[in-house]
Chains A and B, each alone.
Chain A
Amino acid sequence: MNDLDQHLPAIVAGDAMAFGQWLAGAERPIRESLRSFARVVDTEAVLQETLLRAWQVAPRVVLDGRPNALLRLSVRMGRNYAISEARRLRSTGFDEDAIEAMPEGQVAPAPPADPRLRDHIEDCRDKLPQKPQQALAARLESGGAEADPVLAERLGMKPNTFLQNFTRARKLLAQCLESKGIDLGLEWV
C-alpha cells in the first residue's frame, strides 16, 4: 500500500507542493468516508474544511508505526466535523447513534491516475461541441475558486444555460468513455 506519510516531513516544513501530492492520494478515500453523511450535510464543504485542517494539524501528527497516519486522522476529523455540521443544520433523517456505531473501516489512498485514462478523456473531450467544451474548461480552469454564475457570465451564458452545457459535456463524455469500456460514474441515470 502506498504510504502518504512519505510526504509528511515536507508538509510539516510548509511545503504546499508536498501537500498537493498528499491530496492527490487522500482526497478520494476521505470523500468516500463521508458517503453516509451526503443526505444531511454538504459533504463537499465538509471535505474541503477537513483537508484544510489536515494541513493545519500535520505538525502534530504522531506516527504509530502504521501507514497513512495523517490520512487516518483526517478521516476521523471529517467524520467528527460532519456530525457537528449535521447537528448545527438540525438535519432531518440524521441518526447520530447509527452514524457513531458505524465502523470506520479500512482506509487506503487512491492509486495514481492511469496515464492512459487521461489520453482517453482528452480524446473524448476534443470531440465535444464548442459550448459544452467551454463550460467544462471553465470549471477545470477555475479550480473551484469561482461560482458557476461567474463562469457563466465570462462565457456570455446565463447561469442555467451554463449548467445545461456542463451537463451535456458530462453526459457526452460518459457516453464516449463508455464506448472505450470506461465508467467514471459521470451519469446519474
Chain B
Amino acid sequence: MNDALIEEVAGAYRPERVSGDRTLPAWHDLDPDGRQKAFELALGLRTLEAALDPEGLSTTARAVLARIGA
C-alpha cells in the first residue's frame, strides 16, 4: 500500500484535459482497498477544510466554483 498515493488521491486537485476525463493518474496506481481508503480520508479532510473556511466551503467546493468562474 502506498500511503503517499492515498494522500494524493484524497486531495481535491483534478487535472483538466481536452478529453474531459479528470481522473487523477495516481488513482489508477492504487488497488481497490487503497481507493476506498482515499475516499474515506477525503470525507474527513473535506469536513476539516469546510470547518476552517469562512464560508464553510471545502477545497472541492472551491475547485468547482473556480470552474464556473466565481
Residues on A close to B: CB < 8 A?
Answer: 16-17, 19-21, 23-24, 27-28, 31-32, 34-35, 38-45, 47-49, 51-52, 55, 85, 89, 93, 112-114, 117-118, 121-122, 125, 139-140, 142-148, 160, 163-164, 166-167, 170, 173, 184-186, 188
Contacts and interface: CB of A to CB of B under 8 A. Distances in A.
30 contacts: A16-B68, A20-B57, A23-B57, A24-B61, A27-B58, A31-B42, A38-B39, A39-B32, A42-B24, A47-B60, A48-B12, A48-B22, A51-B60, A52-B64, A112-B56, A113-B56, A117-B51, A121-B52, A125-B52, A144-B14, A147-B13, A160-B4, A163-B4, A166-B7, A167-B3, A184-B47, A184-B48, A186-B48, A188-B6, A188-B37
A31 B46 contact: yes
Given A27-B46, A52-B64, A121-B48, A144 B12 contact: yes
Nearest to B32: A39
Contact of A143 (B15, B22, B35, B66): B66
Nearest to A125: B52
A20 B47 contact: no
Given A23-B57, A44-B12, A184-B44, 9 more contacts: A23-B61, A45-B23, A48-B22, A147-B13, A148-B13, A167-B3, A167-B4, A185-B44, A186-B45
A142 B9 CA distance: 16
Contact of A44 (B24, B62, B66): B24
A185 B47 contact: yes
Main secondary structure of the interface of B (DSSP, over half): helix
B63 to A, nearest CB: 3
A38 B24 CA distance: 13
Contacts of B55: 20-21, 24
Given A20-B65, A44-B24, A48-B14, A140 B47 contact: no
B46 A28 contact: yes
Contacts of B57: 20, 23-24
Q: How large is the interface on B (under 10, 10 to 19, 20 to 34, 35 or more residues)?
A: 35 or more
A39 B10 CA distance: 13
Contact of A122 (B4, B44, B52): B52
B22 A49 contact: yes
